[in-house]
Amino acid sequence: RKRGMMVGFRPDQVRVADGRRTVITSRVVVCVHTSALCPGGDYRALVNPDILAAA
């Protein structure tokens, strides 16, 4: 397990779509990671459930 810092930035706006709806928010930090989030590649992003609940 590696430890260190993750690169992140605060964009002006982010759109998150879950197939049924699209949420637009400006209160996020986008972090970049060079490895896959899961071995099977099922996940491409981690999103706080509060962002989707705001829709």
Alpha carbons 2 and 8: distance in angstroms, whole number: 17
End-to-end CA distance of the chain: 36
The first and second tokens of residue 37, run together, are 């989030």
pLDDT one-digit tens code per residue, 37-47: 888 888 878 88
Alpha carbons 1 and 45: distance in angstroms, whole number: 20
Alpha carbons 20 and 3: distance in angstroms, whole number: 36
pLDDT one-digit tens code per residue, 3-48: 778 889 999 999 988 788 898 999 889 988 877 888 888 887 888 8
pTM confidence score: 0.64
Q: Residue 30: which of 15, 40, 17 has the closest Cα?
A: 15
